[in-house]
């Protein structure tokens, strides 16, 4: 007998219920329209995207066929199994992010809260004062631009994964605590506060 969770999963990813036929990827079926001033090419499984802000490259598995025709990019499966159908939409999202990155770029903002906490950029290093006995220095990866203005840290770049991973790395250095909210938090992040002990 299927548990409620298993039943919901099968109804979502299988059609009809109980069969082994997976639903088609909505993201993979849509395809991608290449904007102006953007070049997309593919050679030996490596997709290259060039735009106004720079260029990106990424290798893809041959299980998903990627066709570039004029201003359109389409995706199709060379094999039909769970793994390839899972990669279908994933590959489409990767290339979509590459196209957006070389045209618009990606940005993450971190807010640093706490008395005496400071952040500044020195050369290719980010120097942080986070209440420790020593300053914390973090090297900024190539391809990223980091700006520190008062208590706001802005991380920008054309690679979405690199922007996200570096932002998460910085936040992990001083996660926001639930009482006063001291530490790094994302610009749109809401920290659930706890009430401290009351003095009698």
pLDDT over 70 percentage in the chain: 84
Residue 176: pLDDT over 80? yes
- The pLDDT value recorded for residue 72 is 92
**C-alpha pair distances (Å), 98 with each of 35, 40, 51, 54, 60:** 12, 10, 10, 10, 13
Range scoring the smallest mean pLDDT among 8-17, 80-89, 114-123: 8-17
- The pLDDT value recorded for residue 198 is 66
Average pLDDT of the residues in 168-188: 90
> Residue 172 has which token pair?
């992990």
Question: Across all residues in the chain, what is the average pLDDT?
Answer: 85
0.85 exceeded by the pTM?
A: no
Selected residue with higher pLDDT from 61 and 99 = 99
Residue 9: band (very low, low, confident or very high) from pLDDT cuts 50, 70, 90: very low
d(CA 109, CA 20): 43
d(CA 198, CA 114): 21
- The pLDDT value recorded for residue 14 is 47
Half-sphere exposure of 62 (CA within 13 A, CB side): 3
Ordered domains of the chain (ranges, CATH): 10-103 (3.90.930.12), 106-186 (3.90.930.12)
Place of tokens 């986070």: 130
- With a CB cutoff of 8 Å and minimum separation 6, the contacts of 191 are 176, 178, 181, 185
């Amino acid at each position: 007998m299927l548990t409620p969770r298993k039943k919901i999963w099968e109804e979502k990813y299988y059609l009809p219920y109980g069969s082994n036929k997976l639903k088609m990827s909505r993201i993979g079926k849509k395809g991608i329209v290449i904007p102006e001033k953007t070049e997309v090419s593919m050679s030996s499984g490596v997709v290259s995207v060039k735009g106004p802000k720079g260029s990106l490259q990424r290798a893809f598995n041959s299980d998903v066929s990627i066709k570039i025709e004029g201003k359109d990019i389409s995706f199709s499966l060379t094999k039909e199994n769970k793994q390839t159908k899972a990669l279908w939409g994933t590959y489409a999202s990767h290339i979509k992010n590459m196209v957006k990155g070389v045209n618009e770029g990606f940005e993450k903002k971190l807010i640093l809260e706490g008395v005496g906490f400071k952040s500044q950029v020195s050369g290719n290093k980010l120097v942080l004062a986070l209440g420790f006995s020593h300053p914390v220095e973090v090297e900024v990866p190539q391809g990223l631009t980091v700006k520190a203005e008062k208590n706001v840290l802005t991380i920008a770049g054309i690679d979405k994964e690199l922007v996200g991973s570096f932002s998460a790395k910085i936040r992990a250095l001083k996660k926001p605590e639930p009482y006063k909210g001291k530490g790094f938090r994302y610009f749109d992040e809401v920290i659930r506060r706890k009430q401290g002990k009351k003095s009698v």
